[in-house]
Amino acid sequence: MTDAQTPRAGSGEELQRILGENHRFVFSLIHKFNQPVTEPYSVRDDIIVVSDEAHRTQAGKFARNMRLALPNASFIGFTGTPLFKYDERTRRIFGEYISRYDFRRSEQDQSTVKLICENRGEKLGIARLDLNDRIADAIERAELDPDQVALLEKLLGKDYEVITADDRLDKLADDFVQHCSTRWQTGKSMLVCIDKVTCARMFQRIEPRWKAKLARLQVLIPIKEGELEASGDPDARERLGRDLDELRGQAQWMESTIIEIVISEAQNEVRDFQKWGFDIIPHRVVMKAGFQTPDGKRVPEEDAFEDPQHPFRVAIVCAMWLTGFDVECLATLYIDKPMRAHNLMQAIARANRVFPGKDCGVIVDYNGMLKSLREALAQYALGDEDDGGGGGIVAPIEELVVALVQAIEAAEKHLLGLGFEATRLHGTTGFERIEALRDAVDALYTSDEAKRRFEIMARQVFIRFKALLMEPSALAYAERHDNLEAIYKKLQDRRDTADVTEVLKELHRIVNEAIRAAAPGGDHAEGLKVDLSKIDFEKLRGEFASKVRRKHAALQDIRVLVEQKLADMLARNPMRMDYYRKYHEIIADYNREKDRATVEATFAQLVALAASLDAEQKRAAEEGLSDEELALFDLMFKDDISKSDRERLKQASRGLLASLQNLIQSMREWTKNAATQAEVEMFILNTVWESLPRPPFTDDETEAAASRVYDYVWERSASGRFPVTKAQ
């Protein structure tokens, strides 16, 4: 719609000239309507004026000039900030709402996440409820720039001394470090202070406390390592292993985290900050030049904070970044600055952006400012006129506890519907817990959909629990959370550690009649190396029906084995796709029916498929070909050819592979160069044309075979899997 030629007014005079011309679009700031208007710039009635920030830009002198300059225009106003419910001025200027998109609708549409308020200021005894409104009122009446430190201190007098007292800031820093480091897995954090000097003073307090907390974690790590080494109890070792992983992860996160202040530049700031023993220069360098990367480049502060992978994870601000700066991975906003009205609404919205794994944004209130937020929100037209205000926009943290309980109950109900009672895990240890976990996993393997649903539900529980790590009331649900996590990890462990040489341990033992049906862990596959080709599948199929108790889990073991073999075989030879299709037909039938007969039938089909895969893997040796030569043979093969033509095709496959290896080994990254690609493609076409017997192959069949061979060789070479040394 617009381009570089679209006019943008650079001055009031230029704007007057542009509006007198004929343009589809014109861009201007309202400040460009700064010329006295003695006659209209244009009397056209097809001009539409679209105004941003309409709640605060359309009632002054410049707006009046605009109306005089364009008397017949239509006006539409946009604002991202809610209007006062009884704001007659904006309505008088623009009329009634055309469309509204409020906090609730954005949550319902999942365009934003819910905001949760944690009132830590009162818990710590540092919140001064009497000061919050008084300070906010004073700043608002003076129309003071929050960065004007000297004026702010003079304006607030004793109130400023109270809110910035050393003892209060010390307590705040202690709590911030503990709270922020405990929530290390949730996302980035922003601390909002009353002014720039206080940002610096908080940095001075947070940095040593951060290092001290890190040192304590580093001391705990070898202690936990020793406890893990000395423990012989499987349950204790599992718990200690989790604790150790948590400690290492938290310590690494704290050690790599960058904490930085982000404030606007001011005259004489070096001298002003030196009065507080703070050197602003290195911080100003970072604010201007950004962070240096290992390759010597610079990353701007804004980009670094927006990047979830960058270690700049804690920003200390007073005014910058509180409006118009969206950081999706910002999980926690710590507020120790009196705010109200539009400024407050815009600030808290920093934490409600959607990000993977983020169930809610947490607002930590240190000065009591959010205690009266529900009452304040009632002044705004946030939804329907009779909706009772904006009470649901920011919820107390207790509501998140309720949401956690709901998520836990949903996951437990899902397990119960599959035949597993989650309470079986409560308080269990040893073999009893191992057995219960195996039964839970077996129940979840009833179908792929059952397992996927549980994994989604469990992740929701984990996200909500992490958001409540500093909330004591959530600890009552820790065991239920841990039990769901244990089941989830068992599912992941089976997925991550399954090996074709291990997954059939117990089934192999059945075949060799070395199983004791009543023994603890009687059908769990782990530890033993198994050669698939040596398994008696007929005997295995019969014993499965009579002796294996957890059939769904055993079936999953076979699935893992078959999937891994299929992946390897397809990578070597794309003409084996029929086996892949057969496998998916078997699994689709299994997912449609869940009774015992279906499970046993599926097992029989899978072991038969596994046996056929084993036979397919032996085919290369039976044909007298290598795996790569067999792949070329299959790509060029034609049904109903004579025995002699079949032998000629084998010889053509051997010769083609050897010739390709000799050609490609001297070509560096040939798949990335058009000239070398063309050379290889033409070489294959010529070689296949000369090698294939005609008849029975037609010209079209020969060209199609050459095309298939080229695609195969290109894909194998691009992935580094084509052998570049001549086959022996």
Residue 608 pLDDT grade (very low, low, confident, very high; cuts 50, 70, 90) = low
Give the residue with greater pLDDT, 517 vs 585: 585
Give the whole-angstrom CA distance, residue 728 versus residue 725.
9
Residue 560 CB partners (closer than 8 Å, separation 6+): 494, 495, 498, 500, 503
Q: How far apart are CA 464 and CA 405, in angstroms?
A: 9
The pLDDT value recorded for residue 206 is: 97
Q: What is the pLDDT of residue 170?
A: 95
Question: Structure pTM?
Answer: 0.63
Compute how many other C-beta atoms are within 10 angstroms of the C-beta atom of residue 209: 17
Bond into 294 cis (ω within 30): no
Q: What is the DSSP letter of 386?
A: T
Give the DSSP letter string of 5-39. TS-B--SHHHHHHHHTS--S--B--GGG--S--SS
Q: Evaluate if residue 538 carries a pLDDT over 70.
A: no
Helices (H) and strands (E) in the chain, counts: 30, 11
pLDDT 10s digits, 97-117: 788 777 777 777 888 888 888
Which CA distances in Å does 136 have to 132, 141, 142, 197? 6, 9, 10, 18
Backbone angles phi, psi at 508, to 5 degrees: -65, -40
* Mean pLDDT in residue range 546-569: 62
Number of neighbours of residue 639 by Cβ within 10 angstroms: 5
pLDDT for 712: 85
Which helix (H) or strand (E) segment holds residue 640: the answer is none
Q: Which of 9-13, 111-115, 508-512, 615-619 has the lowest mean pLDDT?
A: 508-512
- Residue partners of 316: CB distance under 8 A and separation at least 6: 190, 191, 193, 199, 202, 203, 206, 259, 260, 261, 262
The rounded distance, in Å, linking the Cα atoms of 221 and 216 is 9
> Does 696 sit behind a cis peptide bond, omega within 30 degrees of 0 on the bond before it?
yes
| 169, 228, 434, 465 from 244: Cα distances, Å | 33, 9, 21, 19
pLDDT band at 331 (very low <50, low <70, confident <90, very high): very high
pLDDT of residue 467: 80
The predicted pLDDT at position 542 comes to: 53
For residue 669, the model assigns a pLDDT of 81
Cα within 13 Å of Cα(156), Cβ side:
26
pLDDT band at 208 (very low <50, low <70, confident <90, very high): very high
pLDDT in tens, 163-193: 888 999 999 999 999 999 999 999 999 999 9
Cβ pair 491, 455 in contact under 8 A:
yes
- Picking from 589, 638, 629, the residue whose alpha carbon sits closest to that of residue 727 is 629
262-275 pLDDT, tens digit each? 999 988 899 989 99
pLDDT 10s digits, 366-403: 887 765 565 556 555 454 444 444 445 677 788 888 98
Specify the DSSP element, H or E, that contains 368. Answer: none
What fold characterizes domain 106-384? Rossmann fold (3.40.50)
338 with 369: CB under 8 angstroms? Answer: yes
Section 14-22 average pLDDT: 87
Region at 357 (left for phi over 0; alpha for psi -120 to 50; beta for the rest): left
- How buried is residue 309: exposed, middle or buried, by Cβ count under 10 Å (0-12/13-18/19+)? exposed
